[in-house]
Amino acid sequence: MKAIVKTRPEFGAEYLDIPIPVPKPNEVLIKVRATSICGTDVHIYKWDSWSAGRIGAGNLPQTLGHECTGEVVEVGAHVKRIKVGDNISLETHIPDPEDVQSFLGQQHIGEHMKIVGVDRNGCFAEYITAPEVVCWKNDPAIPPEYASIQEPLGNACYCLLGEDGDVVGKTMVILGDGPIGLMATAMARMAGVTKIFVTGLFPYCLDLAKTLGADYTLNAGDKTLDRVAFVRDHTNGFGADIVLEMSGSKDAVVEGFKMLRKGGRFSAFGVISAPELSLDYNNDFVFKGAQVFGINGRKMFDTWYRVRNMLASGRLDVSRIVTGLIDIKDFASGFDSMLAIPRHSAKIVMFPDPAELAKAKARRIG
């Protein structure tokens, strides 16, 4: 089969012929219909210090990718729930049933949890094997180009709702204009957030945020703009009820805490490259009574359930967030647009089968 493989500890990847993997007794073999590029894939593609440390040159070659949808074509001997022919998407976090978190409803952050495309071969290929436990059955009403992006939509959903889901009628700052920031914007609008501020660096993405429901967009690179004052001025002087950090920028984190009102919630999702921060602990956390909520992955499978219903019902329209539909052999152009500055794209979905790509493109025109 064809696959996009990281062969060397340097920038880039190769489009290679490799053997079709064989599922273990608890695994299924999936024929990939659509697969989307995530920020994590970009880190690995660039081979930055995070991926060099997390994956390590010794574990190459490895197939890239973790967001996908496809059809189950073979099941291992111990697989019960999933059947050949099932239309599924993959949860990326493979839980270890022995972890204490697995007993506590937190299997997505288990001590020994493994990640598809990071700890094992990924889905930028014609086929992938995966444990049955991470297979999520799709609603057939959801086309593959959207079924593939349910994994990041689940991140956006978890960040947005937190543990209490208390968002209706509230004000929200979304820090970051990347794909997940844009997904959160559309979902926040759908969920009844009544004032949405989005910060980001790129006019194309900020304009997109506006079309998705942002009331205000704030350029994070504008040194003359006091974004904290702007948010306070537009929230009766209080600051925002909820702040979602989705930029991975140190400055945005610091600013975000200043934008948060007393008693508000800060969902921390973006990963920053040099994580030591200088924050005003007393005023930004303690006296503020801030709820700070780290998000690593999606709730299995609560957010999947919600996202499936949002997409299948048509209540959540992600068509404008999927800005690229490409043949998987053209992966380099997909990564190029993810790396371009300024950015002129959001989510890019790749297709191993040109016929699937043609159908997806026809749906866009139709």
Give the active site residues.
40, 43
In terms of CB distance, is 38 or 109 closer to Zn ion?
38
Nearer to Zn ion, 122 or 264 (CB): 122
Residue 187, H or E segment: helix 179-191
Cβ 67 to Zn ion shortest distance, Å: 5
CB of 37 to Zn ion, least distance (A): 9
CB of 324 vs Zn ion, minimal distance in Å: 16
CB contact at 8 A, 245 and 225: no
Which of the stretches 27-35, 67-75, 95-103, 107-115 binds Zn ion when contact is defined by CB under 5 A? Answer: 67-75
User: Which residue's CB atom is positioned nearest to Zn ion?
Assistant: 38
Task: Tell me which stretch binds Zn ion (CB under 5 A): 32-40, 56-64, 116-124, 242-250.
Answer: 32-40
Per CB under 5 A, which region of 59-67, 123-131, 186-194, 244-252 contacts Zn ion?
Answer: 59-67
Decide if residue 142 touches Zn ion (CB under 5 A): no
Neighbouring residues of 219: CB distance < 8 A, sequence distance ≥ 6: 199, 200, 201, 203, 206, 225
Is 4 or 38 the residue whose CB approaches Zn ion more closely? 38
Nearest CB to Zn ion, comparing residues 38 and 147: 38
Pick the closest to residue 160 from 89, 67, 265, 313 (CA basis).
Answer: 265
E strands, the chain, in order: 2-6, 14-17, 27-36, 62-63, 67-75, 87-90, 93-94, 114-115, 127-131, 135-137, 171-175, 195-200, 216-219, 240-245, 260-268, 291-294, 322-327, 347-351
| Residue 242 binds to Zn ion (criterion: CB under 5 A) | no
Whose tokens are 């979602």? That residue is: 244
From 65-73, 169-177, 272-280, 340-348, span contacting Zn ion (CB under 5 A): 65-73
Burial 272-311 (b: 16+ CB within 10 A, else e): beeeeeeeeeeebbeebebbbbebebbbbbebbebbbebb
Q: Which is nearer to Zn ion, 29 or 38 (CB)?
A: 38
Q: How far is the CB of 35 from Zn ion (least distance, A)?
A: 11
Pairing of strands 171-175, 195-200: parallel
Report in angstroms how near the CB of residue 152 gets to Zn ion at its nearest: 5
Does the protein bind Zn ion through residue 38 (CB under 5 A)?
yes
Binding site for Zn ion (CB under 5 A): 38, 67
